[in-house]
Amino acid sequence: MESSKARMIETRSEKLDLRLTRSAKHALQSAAKAAHRSVSDFVLESAMARAAETLPDRQLFWLNAEQWEAFQAALDAPPSPAPRLAELLNQPSVFDEGTV
């Protein structure tokens, strides 16, 4: 995981725009002022902290040997029958000629 110092050294070349309410903007401005940060820095640091909390369990997971074997077996197993999906895929699409 990147350290916050490494992120600060990286040149900011991307832009992100967002719409917010007047009260939300005021709250962010007040919080940034209290933290002695610019609004941009405050919002970026807050968003990056939230991203760091949200992403780890979606990027990495740890398994013991037994769980790893079960995981591999599930990946290697043939797919379960899905009759409703098969039925759907056999129906004409709205993109097929003459159905729209």
* CA nearest neighbour of 24 among 39, 38, 36, 41: 39
- 39's CB contacts (< 8 A; 6+ apart) are 28, 29, 32
Where is pLDDT greater, at 30 or 61? 30
Full-model pTM: 0.51
Query: 3-state DSSP helix/strand/coil percent for the chain, to nearest 5?
Result: 60, 0, 40
Q: What is the pLDDT of residues 7-50, one digit of tens each?
A: 557 898 999 999 999 999 999 999 999 999 999 999 999 999 99
Q: State the residue for tokens 């040149």.
A: 11
- pLDDT value, residue 1: 47
Distances from the Cα of 53 to the Cα of 21, 45, 88, 92, angstroms: 25, 12, 38, 44
